[in-house]
Each structure stands twice: as C-alpha cells, then as structure tokens.
Structure 1
Amino acid sequence: MTGSFLTNQFLIAMPGLEDPNFFRSVTYICEHNENGAMGLVINRPMNMQLGEILEHIDIRDASTEARQIPLYLGGPVQQERGFVLHTPLGNWEATLQVTDRIGITSSLDILTAIAHDTGPEHCLVSLGYAGWGAGQLEQELADNAWLSGPADPDILFKKPDEERWKAAAASLGVDLDRLSGEAGHA
C-alpha cells in the first residue's frame, strides 16, 4: 500500500460530493499512512482574521499585516485547535515535515513569529482539520468522491481561495464544469 499514500497531494471534491464540510473543497493531505489520513481544507475562509486569535492568546503587539491574515476552516475535526501550513519549514516546536519545503505546525512559537513578521514566507492558518481512519479515504476515492493529484504550492499559498477548487482540478487537466455529479459503473 506504500505507493498509494497521498501525502503532499490535493484532494479535490467531485461535484457530487454534497457533505457540507467538503462541498467544492480542496484538501491538502499533510499525512497519509496505513493508520489513516490528515489534511487541511485550503479554500474555506472563515469570517475571522488571525488578529482575533492572537488577542485571545495574549499576543497584542502583532503587526497590522499579521492581524489581517485570514483564517481557514481546515476541517470538521478539533475546530478549536490551530494549524499553520507553511513554507519554508523553519525550526518550530511542533512541526510535521510534509515535504522538504512544506510543514504543518501547531505550536504557539510560529504564531508569535508570524505576529512579529519573522514567520515563514508563506502560510495558511486554519482551525480544525480533516481526518480519515484506516482505509476510509481509500474507500471514498473508490466511491468517486474525490480527485487526487500532486499539490501545487502556488495554488496552496498564492491563488485566491475562491479559485483553488477549479485551479487544482485544472492542474490535472480536469474541467469541473464538464463533470457530472453522478458516479457511473460500466
């Protein structure tokens, strides 16, 4: 099963996926192994900015730019917990290295660095994550709920969030407007 692991891949919701947590979503897979998968939805901005979180954790001297960083709903699991997807890796306390350039960090030291403009060059800050148990994601892929393909850092960090779903599919040569929401079997 090693060859099927989807770490550093995009999961692109098929048009027929109606679960409101994932409808028209792009999820970046941070870790996938025989025990399950963990990822962050990268195109669900919340009606909140990082400044609200920084004040809540008593970081009050944050730069204006840091305060205005949008927060994303990373998924339905542990929505009270924050995650920072970032590049470059850096030397943070609690970082899971996804690739040689991309990491996901859940420790306060990265938020302090971002607040003082000494954080990573690119970051996506989210609350919550998407998680799958052993075999669950593989079954959803077999059920045609998702497209999967290599993650593109430009889509991840630079593309406006409202364009990420179609851009991720287009990177695979797929036009989502031409796909049916129904799965068929020959």
Structure 2
Amino acid sequence: MATFQKKRERGILDGQFLIAMPGMFDTDFARTVIFVCAHSSDGAMGFVLNRPQQLTFPEVLLHLEIVDQDQAIRLPEKAKDFQIQTGGPVETGRGFVLHSDDYLSDSSIPLNDDLCLTATLDIVRAISRGKGPQKAMMMLGYASWGAGQLENEIANNGWLTSPASEELIFDRALGDKYDRALALMGVAPAMLSPIAGHA
C-alpha cells in the first residue's frame, strides 16, 4: 500500500477517478467510482465515492466520546448532517476526512492544489462544532493496491480512468454517481464491454 507523506512520489494516477468496468465482479468494487489519493511504484490508495455508510456522524462522535448524548442532540445542523461513506474494504474501522484546502492541521496531507486528507481527531472536533472545511466527507475504510496491481487491473479492462471532478467527489447523491462519472467522459454504461480487448 502506498503510504502518505507530505513530500511523496506522485504517480500518474494521483488525483484520478477509477471507474469500475462492467466486468468487475468483486462486490467491493462493482459499479464504484474511486478517487485515487496516492499512487506510486509502491502501490496505490483511494476512496470509494459512491457507497453509503449506515453510521451517522453523531454516532461516530458518541463512539469516539467527543460528545455525550445531550451534546449530540444539540450539534449544529451541519454536523448532524455531515456525510459519512464507506471508503473501501481495508481498515473499515478507521476514519479519514477528505476535504477542501480551507482547513489545515499539522496532520493534513495535501492531495492536490484543492484537496487534503486528514485522519486525526482535530478535524472531527472542528466539524462537530460547525467549523472545519467548507467541503468535506468522512470515509470509513479505504481501497489499496500493491505494487503494480492497479496497473495490471487497468490493463486487464478492470477500470476506466479519468481526471477527477471535485464537484462529483463531494456530491451527496450517491445512487447515480457511477453513471455521472461515466457521463463526464462522454461514456454511457451500455457502451462498455465486459470483455477485455488487446491489440
């Protein structure tokens, strides 16, 4: 798995979308859109953008003992409604906040000119107070690939790649995000073949 560092090798898939092809039968990734946060010769890491999570943000705050029951009831509306998603099948109990760069802490990792990732409680506390970044969502778990694994999956017709859209990343409507990610590329799902072709 690629590890995060402030200054790290950036791969060609950094900041790209991975869009699952119809032949993707792995239930963790079928019809998913993934934002690649880190890609290098060591592997890749990203977050699924269109899988809901049953937990609510107030439940997470209670579990982490950041608030008690009374405080959970009085959370700002923005915090009560803060979006949590399933980021992938790896370390599903671990939380990450993908967010705009208007909030930074010592532990925030810049992903590109506009997006950061923070995986510490300071951002969770800020959001619980109605502060924090303008655009953000919490991911529980992540997706990862070992060295060369993602490149092989792409070569074997597992994924389409395209530049990421910040608007789509933070769009709260998850049900049709897959189709909309394809539409950004000018592709309709019916145009895709599950059979790999090689010249």
How high is the TM-score relative to the length of structure 1?
0.93
Gaps of 5+ in 2: 1-8
- Map of 1:121 onto structure 2: 134
Gaps of 5+ in 1: none
Q: CA deviation at 1:81?
A: 0.5
The structure 2 residue matched to 1:93, chosen from 106, 111, 115, is 106
The structure 1 residue matched to 2:55, chosen from 45, 48, 59, is 48
Question: How do 1:169-180 residues align onto structure 2 when only pairs under 5 Å count?
Answer: 169-180=182-193
How high is the TM-score relative to the length of structure 2?
0.87
Partner Cα separation in structure 1 for residue 78 and residue 11 of structure 2: 40
Partner Cα separation in structure 2 for residue 113 and residue 133 of structure 1: 34
Partner Cα separation in structure 2 for residue 69 and residue 114 of structure 1: 8
Answer whether contact 1:83 1:104 (CA < 8 A) is retained.
yes
Partner Cα separation in structure 1 for residue 110 and residue 116 of structure 2: 5
Structure 1 pair 159–169 and aligned structure 2 pair: CA distance change class (3 A): farther
Which one is further off, 131-140 or 155-164? 155-164
Partner Cα separation in structure 2 for residue 47 and residue 39 of structure 1: 20
Q: Give the AA of the match of 1:164.
A: K
Say if 2:37 is the partner of 1:30.
Answer: yes
Please, what is the CA RMSD of the aligned residues? 1.7
Q: CA deviation at 1:93?
A: 3.3
Structure 1 pair 3–75 and aligned structure 2 pair: CA distance change class (3 A): closer
- Map of 2:169 onto structure 1: 156
Q: Give the AA of the match of 1:154.
A: E
Answer whether contact 1:30 1:40 (CA < 8 A) is retained.
yes
Q: CA deviation at 1:160?
A: 1.2
Task: Tell me the SS of whatever aligns to 2:160.
Answer: strand
Give me the identity figure in percent.
41
Partner Cα separation in structure 2 for residue 93 and residue 78 of structure 1: 23
- Map of 1:16 onto structure 2: 23
Q: Give the AA of the match of 1:173.
A: G
Answer whether contact 2:102 2:134 (CA < 8 A) is retained.
no
Structure having the higher strand fraction is 1
Q: CA deviation at 1:87?
A: 0.6
Aligned length: 185
Structure 1 pair 55–64 and aligned structure 2 pair: CA distance change class (3 A): farther
Q: CA deviation at 1:178?
A: 2.4
Q: Give the AA of the match of 2:162.
A: G
Q: CA deviation at 1:124?
A: 1.6
Task: Tell me the SS of whatever aligns to 1:65.
Answer: helix
Alignment deviations for residues 61-92 of structure 1 (CA, whole Å, 9 cap, x no partner): 33233123232110111111001110125222
